[in-house]
Amino acid sequence: MVIKTKADYVKSLREQKHVVYYKGKRVEDVTTHPGFIPHINAAAKTYELALQPEHEDLMTAVSHLTGERINRFTHIHQNREDLIKKVQMMRLISHETGSCFQRCVGFDALNALYSTTAEIDEKYGTNYHQRLIEYVKYVQKSNIMVVGGMTDTKGDRSKSPSKQSDPDQFLHVVERRKDGIVVTGAKVHQTGAINSHEIVVMPTVALGEEDRDYAVAFASPLNAPGVVLIFGRQTNEERKFEKGIDIGNLEFGLVGGEALIIFDKVFVPWDRVFMCGEYDFAQMFVERFAALHRQNYGGCKGGLSDILVGACGVVSEYQGTGKASHIKDKLAEMMHLAETIYCCSVACSAMGHKMKAGNYEPDTLLANATKS
Amino acid sequence: MVIKTKADYVKSLREQKHVVYYKGKRVEDVTTHPGFIPHINAAAKTYELALQPEHEDLMTAVSHLTGERINRFTHIHQNREDLIKKVQMMRLISHETGSCFQRCVGFDALNALYSTTAEIDEKYGTNYHQRLIEYVKYVQKSNIMVVGGMTDTKGDRSKSPSKQSDPDQFLHVVERRKDGIVVTGAKVHQTGAINSHEIVVMPTVALGEEDRDYAVAFASPLNAPGVVLIFGRQTNEERKFEKGIDIGNLEFGLVGGEALIIFDKVFVPWDRVFMCGEYDFAQMFVERFAALHRQNYGGCKGGLSDILVGACGVVSEYQGTGKASHIKDKLAEMMHLAETIYCCSVACSAMGHKMKAGNYEPDTLLANATKS
Amino acid sequence: MVIKTKADYVKSLREQKHVVYYKGKRVEDVTTHPGFIPHINAAAKTYELALQPEHEDLMTAVSHLTGERINRFTHIHQNREDLIKKVQMMRLISHETGSCFQRCVGFDALNALYSTTAEIDEKYGTNYHQRLIEYVKYVQKSNIMVVGGMTDTKGDRSKSPSKQSDPDQFLHVVERRKDGIVVTGAKVHQTGAINSHEIVVMPTVALGEEDRDYAVAFASPLNAPGVVLIFGRQTNEERKFEKGIDIGNLEFGLVGGEALIIFDKVFVPWDRVFMCGEYDFAQMFVERFAALHRQNYGGCKGGLSDILVGACGVVSEYQGTGKASHIKDKLAEMMHLAETIYCCSVACSAMGHKMKAGNYEPDTLLANATKS
Amino acid sequence: MVIKTKADYVKSLREQKHVVYYKGKRVEDVTTHPGFIPHINAAAKTYELALQPEHEDLMTAVSHLTGERINRFTHIHQNREDLIKKVQMMRLISHETGSCFQRCVGFDALNALYSTTAEIDEKYGTNYHQRLIEYVKYVQKSNIMVVGGMTDTKGDRSKSPSKQSDPDQFLHVVERRKDGIVVTGAKVHQTGAINSHEIVVMPTVALGEEDRDYAVAFASPLNAPGVVLIFGRQTNEERKFEKGIDIGNLEFGLVGGEALIIFDKVFVPWDRVFMCGEYDFAQMFVERFAALHRQNYGGCKGGLSDILVGACGVVSEYQGTGKASHIKDKLAEMMHLAETIYCCSVACSAMGHKMKAGNYEPDTLLANATKS
Ligand SMILES: Cc1cc2nc3c(=O)[nH]c(=O)nc-3n(C[C@H](O)[C@H](O)[C@H](O)COP(=O)(O)OP(=O)(O)OC[C@H]3O[C@@H](n4cnc5c(N)ncnc54)[C@H](O)[C@@H]3O)c2cc1C
Ligand SMILES: Cc1cc2nc3c(=O)[nH]c(=O)nc-3n(C[C@H](O)[C@H](O)[C@H](O)COP(=O)(O)OP(=O)(O)OC[C@H]3O[C@@H](n4cnc5c(N)ncnc54)[C@H](O)[C@@H]3O)c2cc1C
Ligand SMILES: Cc1cc2nc3c(=O)[nH]c(=O)nc-3n(C[C@H](O)[C@H](O)[C@H](O)COP(=O)(O)OP(=O)(O)OC[C@H]3O[C@@H](n4cnc5c(N)ncnc54)[C@H](O)[C@@H]3O)c2cc1C
Ligand SMILES: Cc1cc2nc3c(=O)[nH]c(=O)nc-3n(C[C@H](O)[C@H](O)[C@H](O)COP(=O)(O)OP(=O)(O)OC[C@H]3O[C@@H](n4cnc5c(N)ncnc54)[C@H](O)[C@@H]3O)c2cc1C
């Protein structure tokens, strides 16, 4: 199925029948569950805006793999302009949703894997990069939503994955088969997981030789056998069931809707495996992913700040305090903060560099300035 | 009735039958309603701790009016030591509840009125001060919980009360009778209102001559005819109904439970009226109240910070990061902030001054340093 | 004369015989005066580095007017790359001097005038733009150092220039002649003035119709009759006379060496006048200049911070505290601040826009984020 | 000699003929040297104000040793009021001098030694406390100015005193004689040293058993053989020689005038030795001294801030910007900072505690909040 419209997106979610729990109960249809609707609405904006001609330049790109026009969330950045447009696209969508639209993590995961797989192949003679290219083509064509699965439950942070008393604190390979691998573990705080189609799993920390089984990256449909999604409780989430204004943003809610995703002996075929045992690339991968991810904040959070500044401005006018100098000072300070973080995102993009694989990544140091 | 124990306190609340609404429904017994229990538990600590011999010095005082040992929350500060003990008492209770215990606003209202009424009487030959003394004696003896009603709905902040398009944006006198006055209006964000016995109403802004009817201070039982309490929605309040750990602090909840209190032509007898028309004392009163109230923050918020620091410390130990220098730095910074605000509270107390009425109030400038 | 080397630069300064005072005494040769040598050394770096092949890309540019390779400090920005290179050039020079190299203000003045003169001409049919082009060509060819004269003494800030009790608080036209104008006033805090060749004078505030005579921009040699330079006192400047390490940076000193420049009936020929009476363009001009100037700070101050971070790192190693976590944290914080301001400079450049005159200017909002 | 007036103070300095160097040259009479006059003027204020009846309460105290009225800078704090008055006295003097008056370090040294010597004696049966009492009596009677010598040159901070490659990086006992000890080393950054009469030397870090010789505290006249004072360079100090306004504060200068004090085999008689070998008391002593010293900052720096706020206010009025809201906001912020640090000083005093020796010291935790 190729997803174009919001309707396509909702339909695809309804049909995929992934295993989702909300407050201890199995949810049959996520698309009609009040706890999920705002998140779906927000993510749907990434599809809807891409159909509007005036946003084509920011919301879409031309695939370097197929030459076809694709949703920018499935694109591999080809130059610095692409990096800057990513940031601008996010600020644009934030202006529409005033909430998290959840599609950045998978986007970043694919881009970080694009450069890393090429370099793993170069060192080890593997063929991860070609597999990834095929997967990217599939994502670009189908326009599916991909959750980026980085964060493990971690347990005792002073110990590496293989030293944990519970071996499943970090997701790992439990079996290597001819046709693929079997993995067990869990990824937490997975933004947009409930309303995504697939997950790209990646390592979350630097690894040593003894952590070889934890050096694993792959893609999997969320309805694969053994995958269970448990929705994480969100602040004030009961209000979504009332449909009143106490939810805040009536249509899009407030947050991205994080979930815990359990992998209970999940099978992944080899053509969806992008790292398996190359522990010495884990740290490099995490750094690249982090740079790509931190780059986003000036876009999406900058956009959220704009909404907040506007809201505060309106409130102060309603209250008759709009002209008070201390109010104006505070609004100016909020704007200054928003533009500063936006500057960091733009700058790490403008100073981005070409990778061996030919794609572009933002400047790591400046991307870190964005986040912290 | 004289309230000594938690049981006395709960019983008294149950019996007073004040008109309370929660999410649009009338609540018959506030003491058994899950939305209120944590707040009641926290406020009850102000009674319980006062019965423990080791806390006698901080939790109780000797009344300068009757010579009897009373709950400190009903005391009129007699010296700088009293002011410092007020702050220490609050930090102590915060350590027990980790939440707002709600009894400070009424306490501050009585103290601010104590000095102000004496000075109004001096200028206008009224007898507000003696009335207030009688009321204080009653509060000390009965040990009731008093909510401090300052904040009006306010409407257009650029206009004074009498200039609002809706005359009820600020509470005001609508009728002066032989036996008392009749008032209309509302007070918002009233901490602990649901589980209090009486309210002391005060003006909330400086007033001009044309706002004469808005210059009104009085005490009223919350079950007086015409008084309606509407509970304000609290963050994540649905979780209280589950009794699980998602509420945070299982016993005491997280906040003070603010309510909107509507006064619909409520009658107040003269012996409970402490200001009526003396608009030129409104600003002075507000400043005194504010100083007394800001003085509290280093006590209660300092105590809350202590709890948070401890919680963060425990979490970091659980996670195996307790020895990481950046974690220790952050904890130290939190402690520094807590002690700094505590210092402000202590200092404004130690620099407190004697008022014409004989009582003590904290230094205004230093009390302001506490809050901001 | 065409200035290429440091020797050329020093010789040209010696020969121009401008009127300079230092602590009340006339200075005959600025190039041998200890109070000025560090500033000359720092400014000379803008010439020296431009001769090094490895810095050609940042330190030089190709003139869009003549097609010749010129010092970037005389360039009119032709695209966003030029804007970014400006910032990078500044960080580079800061790394060499650890001090202000003083050549940015004149650079920014020419660029701001480039776009503004074109728009004045468009509205009023004047020919300022062509005059400016000729002047820019002269500056590019001769490679002279130009001080940017914006700040007036200002007097009472609550009054506009024409309302001051002293009409000379702002520089203004006192006579309009056939061959040119005569101006009187003073510009203060003129960075690098002592060791510059010419000044470009510009308005410093928004102006009204009654301030018409104050709406004046022009270029003048600093040795024109009536121009007097009074060196402003610098912190610890006596130390320069000792040549010991107490000066800090032995070769380049610490600051840019600001001067007060008095204009006492100075004649300016028409072909050096770029604004004369068009008060309605003063504000626009000031904003454009400010954006160009604020853009610099992430470059030069970012570079200074790098030097400071390095120096602190070395000191901590000498002292045996290099591994202490609180020291490393502080260095990281300093770096974070430096990279954040650099991000702002890069971002306002990357988001720069083309002006009607064809040149490029940085994004105003983001440039403001840089400064504050 | 008993020092009462400024004239007494200056005369006593002139007569004591201590060995002082300024920029490499021996200074014969410190009282007429322009480099020192402002510091002497500022310190003299501690004598002058004590003679003014309106300041008697803050500037003087009654000695608990002799019952005589003494300058508060020679007092041993007897209660919390004394501690608070210390802070108030400092804010008062800062208002007069707008500069460091230098007399706190010795004051704090004596108070910290007062409690510590008593506890050393208790553990080791020594008689340091009585010696100290005699010395305090002498200081109270003569009213001399005492510099507090804590900071050593320290060398490699990762090593303890006895582990330094140069044994003199920390001051230490080189000979124990029948009549006294001989010490070698240096103390740096000694505020007010040039214009003091005696020094009280103390350890500056926690010490181990192997650092026994470094555990030494004593008093010595600054004109003792072997004591050499080298004045440290001060910012813009050449301006003092001009007597113009460029010095800033014409009469009192800007800083306290720190010196390096070299001890080259200096003999100290036993009755001036207050610690000698009791390394296990070094850390406790340093903490007590630090608490007493940090307590000061809200007084003296609070007072300096007041001066700055006033100066900024005047400047803004001169410039016609006094009513601009962003100017008023900044002044308010400066005041808030000053009052907050003052609150910390007052609070650590109000929460001070009685020591075993009977004197009072400020609360350590709250005193630390003051400084950082
Ligand atoms: C709103 C939200 C959305 C998110 N969305 C996603 C998502 O879509 N996909 C995804 O994969 N993740 C997601 N995350 C997870 C996020 O990436 C992690 O929360 C983050 O990386 C921190 O990890 P943690 O929560 O395990 O904290 P920890 O890593 O445990 O850190 C807690 C503290 O401990 C310190 N610490 C940790 N380890 C050590 C150590 N070894 N030594 C010293 N100090 C240490 C840290 O510095 C930090 O101060 C989301 C999180 C949030 C809040
Ligand atoms: C947790 C909590 C508990 C509380 N408990 C109590 C309680 O027990 N009893 C009680 O009486 N109140 C209580 N309050 C109310 C509290 O005192 C008020 O919220 C506070 O005084 C601010 O008033 P406001 O909300 O009307 O804000 P506003 O006064 O409207 O202020 C909003 C903003 O507008 C500005 N502003 C307001 N007026 C003007 C003007 N004329 N000109 C320029 N600027 C202006 C303010 O500076 C501020 O920045 C509580 C509030 C909270 C949050
Ligand atoms: C190191 C250094 C180098 C410099 N180099 C140069 C240079 O090379 N060329 C050059 O032309 N200038 C130079 N300057 C001057 C600099 O541009 C000015 O200092 C700056 O623009 C501020 O002007 P000002 O000093 O007159 O301060 P003011 O403009 O007087 O500002 C002082 C304060 O008053 C406020 N204020 C001013 N006017 C008003 C008003 N009407 N209403 C309300 N508030 C007001 C301001 O916001 C500010 O807070 C330099 C300055 C420094 C410190
Ligand atoms: C204006 C002024 C007046 C003064 N007046 C006096 C005075 O009158 N009498 C007096 O005795 N002193 C005086 N001093 C000295 C002052 O007490 C010291 O500067 C201060 O205690 C810091 O000591 P330091 O300069 O040796 O710095 P250091 O102690 O070397 O500290 C430098 C940095 O290194 C870190 N560090 C140091 N040791 C370690 C370690 N082992 N492990 C990890 N990190 C470490 C510190 O935390 C700090 O960040 C004065 C100082 C000033 C600036």
Residue B243: predicted pLDDT: 80
The residues facing C198 across adjacent strands are C146, C221
**Backbone angles phi and psi of B146, in degrees to 5:** -115, 125
pLDDT tens digits along C127-166: 999 999 999 999 999 999 999 999 999 999 999 999 999 9
Closest ligand (CA of C325): 4
Note whether C281 and C308 are same-domain residues. no
H helices then E strands: how many in chain D? Answer: 10, 14
Residue D1 inside a domain? The answer is no
Last residue of a domain, one of C262, C278, C297: C297
C372 touches chain D (CB under 8 A): no
Residue C372: predicted pLDDT: 59
Note whether A223 and A247 are same-domain residues. yes
CA-nearest residue, atom 50 of ligand 1: A189
Q: Give the distance (Å) from ligand 4 centre to CA of residue D219.
A: 22
Instruction: Average the pLDDT over C275-304 and give the result.
Output: 98
pLDDT tens digits along C88-103: 999 999 999 999 999 9
The residues facing D20 across adjacent strands are D27, D229
Cα separation, D166 vs D161, in Å, equals 9
Closest ligand (CA of D196): 4
Note whether B223 and B325 are same-domain residues. no
For residue A356, give the nearest of A136, A178, A114 by alpha carbon.
A114
Helix D364-371 with D282-294: angle, nearest 10 deg: 60
SS3 A367: helix
CA-nearest residue, atom 36 of ligand 4: C321
Residue A1 inside a domain? The answer is no
Residue at C356: amino acid letter = K
CATH number assigned to the domain comprising residue A186: 2.40.110.10
Note whether A199 and A310 are same-domain residues. no
Q: Where are the alpha helices (DSSP H) in C99-151?
A: 104-124, 128-142
Residue B1 inside a domain? The answer is no
Residue B324 inside a domain? The answer is yes
Helix B325-350 with D364-371: angle, nearest 10 deg: 100
Note whether B30 and B93 are same-domain residues. yes
Note whether D321 and D358 are same-domain residues. yes
**Backbone angles phi and psi of C116, in degrees to 5:** -70, -45
B372: pLDDT confidence band, cut at 50, 70 and 90? low
Residue B175 inside a domain? The answer is yes
Domain that holds residue D11: 6-297
pLDDT tens digits along C193-203: 999 999 999 99
Note whether D66 and D195 are same-domain residues. yes
Note whether D222 and D363 are same-domain residues. no
Note whether C84 and C169 are same-domain residues. yes
The answer to whether A79 and A360 are in contact (CB under 8 A) is yes
Structurally, how many domains does chain C consist of?
A: 2
Interchain proximity B238–A238, CB inside 8 Å? yes
Note whether C184 and C325 are same-domain residues. no
> Average pLDDT of chain B?
96
Helix D325-350 with B325-350: angle, nearest 10 deg: 90
Mutate to test the interface with A, among C80, C306, C339, C365 (most CBs of A within 10 A): C339
pLDDT at A313 > cutoff 70: yes
Last residue of a domain, one of D297, D324, D355: D297
Note whether D318 and D363 are same-domain residues. yes
Q: Which residues have CB under 8 Å from B339's CB, separation 6+?
A: B302, D365, D366, D368, D369
Closest ligand (CA of A316): 2
Last residue of a domain, one of D278, D297, D316: D297
Interchain proximity D246–C235, CB inside 8 Å? no
Residue B187 inside a domain? The answer is yes
Residue B126 inside a domain? The answer is yes
Phi/psi class of residue D78: alpha, beta or left (left: φ > 0; alpha: ψ in -120 to 50)?
alpha
State the chains in contact with B (3 or more Cβ–Cβ pairs under 8 Å).
A, C, D
ipTM for the complex shown? 0.95
Please give chain D's pLDDT, 372 residues, in tens: 799 999 999 999 999 999 999 999 999 999 999 999 999 999 999 999 999 999 999 999 999 999 999 999 999 999 999 999 999 999 999 999 999 999 999 999 999 999 999 999 999 999 999 999 999 999 999 999 999 999 999 999 999 999 999 999 999 999 999 999 999 999 999 999 999 999 999 999 999 999 999 999 999 999 999 999 999 999 998 899 988 888 888 899 877 899 999 999 999 999 999 999 999 999 999 999 999 999 999 999 999 999 999 999 999 999 999 999 999 999 999 999 999 999 999 999 999 999 999 999 999 999 999 876
Q: Is the pTM of this model over 0.90?
A: yes
- Percent of chain A residues topping a pLDDT of 90: 93
Tokens of C166: 């002293």
Q: Is A149 in the pocket of ligand 1 (CB under 6 A)?
A: yes
Residue A314's Cβ-count burial label (10 Å; 0-12, 13-18, 19+) is exposed
Residue A372: predicted pLDDT: 59
- Which range has highest mean pLDDT (B243-247, C325-329, D168-172)? D168-172
Neighbours of A293 (CB within 10 A): 22
List CB contacts (< 8 A) between C349 and chain A.
350
Note whether D345 and D289 are same-domain residues. no
Cα separation, B9 vs B5, in Å, equals 6
CA distance C87 to chain D (A): 30
Residue A205's Cβ-count burial label (10 Å; 0-12, 13-18, 19+) is middle
- Percent of chain A residues topping a pLDDT of 70: 100
B340 touches chain D (CB under 8 A): yes
pLDDT tens digits along B153-164: 999 999 999 999
Residue C129 inside a domain? The answer is yes
Q: Is D105 in the pocket of ligand 4 (CB under 6 A)?
A: yes
Residue B247: predicted pLDDT: 84
